[in-house]
Amino acid sequence: MKTRTGINGLRSVDFGVPDLEAAARFYEDIWGLKAVSTTADRVYLRGTGPDFYILALHRHPEPRMLRIDLSIESRRHADTLHAQLVRAGLDVVMEPGTIADPGGGYGFSFRDPVEGRVFRVIADAARHADTADQADLPRKLSHIVLNSPDREARFFVEQLGFRVIDKTRTITFLNCNDDHHSLALYTSEVSSFNHLAFEMRDLNSVMSATANMVEHGEEIGWGVGRHGPCDNVFCYFIGPGGFTIEYTAEVEQVDETYKVGGPEDWKFRRGRRDQWGLALPSPRMRSADTEVPFSSALIGQ
């Protein structure tokens, strides 16, 4: 499915972490990403898919959510969206132009005025040619979930063109392509990062990668389970800096015929939070998913 603005995916995310070297080692040696570029203060990591990088780690005094990069269909769409956001009074951080990060492309960045989150829109970034799926390794970003008081997701629907594709008692799911959702808002009084999901090729890879994490001494935050909405399998962990991260697979593919659900459509048997009911979120995970705020400082570009 296409959006009216041309936004068509979650490309990458920027995390600020106090111990850059330890975080980079974790994502490379255990989580399953690969560094494509490293500077003194940044490490850019790719999955097995075509996106040039999907996670950028920045040396930062405190763990912070720094920026969310969204892909957009073309330069023309980027310029049109930029003009529309300027008219709406958004704070443009970088005017449309060439992106200096690895993979380049054309885009702009802005801060939404209500919750202070920084987004960047990118067209025409370089893409990798070696994109064969590999067992147990993340392919791409699946979705990001943000804590937000904006239950109606007005900013994302009205300004960025996302569609509300499902709503549970606590979460509003937002769609911008054939994946059920690329972004979701967890209803909350605070505005902050909730979690970031990495897509694996299949359920076996979620299970094997989960076992690999456990073998490395990492504690499961929640899982393994199967969500609804989206029908995806999941397993959550707390990564370096306290960022909640998720392995996922079997993300439901949707088209115009998808029936948008509401809270009454998504109820589980008493005591369960997912379709399988194997586990509930750990106390550590329940606190971690509201601990990382957005940065008030900018990272350039």
State the residues that interact with Fe ion by CB under 5 A: 197, 246
Nearer to Fe ion, 199 or 246 (CB): 246
Calpha distance 273→177 (Å, rounded): 26
Q: Least separation, in Å, of the C-beta of 170 and Fe ion?
A: 13
CB-nearer residue toward Fe ion: 150 or 246: 246
Q: Which is nearer to Fe ion, 124 or 246 (CB)?
A: 246
- H/E segment holding residue 207: helix 203-215
Residue 143 CB, nearest approach to Fe ion (Å): 6
Q: How far is the CB of 145 from Fe ion (least distance, A)?
A: 6
- With beta carbons less than 8 A apart as the criterion, state whether 269 and 228 touch: no
| SS3 state at 252 | coil
Tell me how far apart the alpha carbons of residues 159 and 99 are, in angstroms, rounded to a whole number.
22
The DSSP code sequence of 31-94 is: I--EEEEE-SSEEEEE-SSSBS-SEEEEE-SS-EEEEEEEEES-HHHHHHHHHHHHHTT-EEEE
Q: Which is nearer to Fe ion, 224 or 299 (CB)?
A: 224
Min dist. Cβ of residue 66 to Fe ion (A) = 20
| Beta carbon nearer to Fe ion, 2 or 169 | 169
SS3 182: coil
Comparing every residue's Cβ against Fe ion, the nearest one is: 197
| Closest distance of CB 24 from Fe ion, Å | 23
